Amino acid sequence: MPLWKQLAISLAVLFVGLCSLVYFSPGAGQTLISMGVPASAVALVSSAPDSEGQGQRGQEQGGQQAQSGGGQGGQGQGNRRGGGNQAILVATQPVAMGVVNDRLNAIGDGEAIEAVTVMPQTSGTVAEILVSSGQKVTKGDVIARLDREEQVILRDQAAVALRSAVEKAESYRNLQSFSRLDVLDAQIAEEQAQLQLTTAELNLKRRDIVAPIDGVIGIVGVSVGDNVTNTTAIVSLDNRSQLLVDFWAPERFVAAVRPGMPVEANSVSRPGQVFQGTVEAVDSRVDQASRTIRIRAKIDNPEDVLRAGMSFAVAMRFPGDSYAAVNPLAVQWDGEGSFVWQIVDNKSVKTRVRIVQRNSDQILVEASLDEGDIVAVEGLQRVREGGTVEIAGEAGADSEEVAVR
User: What is the secondary structure of 113-182 as a DSSP string?
Assistant: EEEEEE--SS-EEEEEE---TT-EE-TT-EEEEE--HHHHHHHHHHHHHHHHHHHHHHHHHH-TTS-HHH
CA distance 372 to 72: 43
pLDDT at 278 over 90: yes
CB 366 within 8 A of CB 356: yes
pLDDT above 90 covers a percentage of the chain that reads: 46
pLDDT at 390 over 70: yes
Look at residue 196 in the predicted model and tell me its pLDDT: 93
If we measure between CA atoms, which residue out of 221, 260, 213 comes closest to residue 113? 213
CA distance 234 to 219: 9
Mean pLDDT value of segment 386-393: 86
Give the Å distances, CA to CA, from 124 to 128, 206, 233, 255: 12, 10, 13, 54
Per-residue pLDDT reduced to its tens digit, 147-166 = 999 999 999 999 999 999 88
Per-residue pLDDT reduced to its tens digit, 186-204 = 889 889 999 999 999 999 9
Angle at 378 between CA 376 and CA 384, to 5 degrees: 60
Mean pLDDT value of segment 127-152: 92
CA distance 241 to 112: 8
CA distance 175 to 337: 110
Least confident interval from 12-26, 217-231, 294-308: 12-26
The crossing angle, in degrees rounded to 10, of helices 3-24 and 26-34 is: 120
CB 21 within 8 A of CB 28: yes
Q: When comparing pLDDT for 348 and 18, which is higher?
A: 348
Per-residue pLDDT reduced to its tens digit, 216-259 = 999 998 999 999 998 999 999 999 999 999 999 998 888 889 99
Per-residue pLDDT reduced to its tens digit, 48-105 = 444 444 444 434 444 444 344 444 433 434 344 444 457 889 899 999 988 887 788 9
Tally of CB atoms within 10 A around 307 = 16
Per-residue pLDDT reduced to its tens digit, 33-52 = 666 666 666 666 554 444 44
CB 353 within 8 A of CB 365: yes
Return mean pLDDT, the chain.
81
* CA 87 remoteness from chain centre: 43
Burial of 146 (0-12, 13-18, 19+ CB in 10 A): buried
Look at residue 322 in the predicted model and tell me its pLDDT: 86
Look at residue 81 in the predicted model and tell me its pLDDT: 42
Residue 168's pLDDT band (cuts 50, 70, 90):
confident
Look at residue 39 in the predicted model and tell me its pLDDT: 64
Look at residue 392 in the predicted model and tell me its pLDDT: 84
CB 162 within 8 A of CB 193: yes
Please list, in sequence order, all residues whose beta carbon lies within 8 angstroms of the beta carbon of residue 236, skipping any fewer than 6 positions away.
115, 116, 117, 118, 217, 218, 219
Per-residue pLDDT reduced to its tens digit, 312-357 = 999 998 887 888 999 999 999 998 999 999 999 889 999 999 998 8
Look at residue 183 in the predicted model and tell me its pLDDT: 79
Give the bridge partners for 87, in sequence order.
none
> Could you give the domains of the chain?
3-72 (no CATH), 88-100+322-391 (2.40.420.20), 103-138+214-318 (2.40.30.170), 148-206 (1.10.287)
Look at residue 75 in the predicted model and tell me its pLDDT: 40
Please list, in sequence order, all residues whose beta carbon lies within 8 angstroms of the beta carbon of residue 356, skipping any fewer than 6 positions away.
100, 323, 364, 365, 366
Mean pLDDT value of segment 112-129: 92
CA distance 187 to 62: 147
Helix and strand totals (H; E) in the chain: 6, 22
CA distance 363 to 25: 68
User: Taking the model in full, what pTM does it have?
Assistant: 0.55
Look at residue 130 in the predicted model and tell me its pLDDT: 93
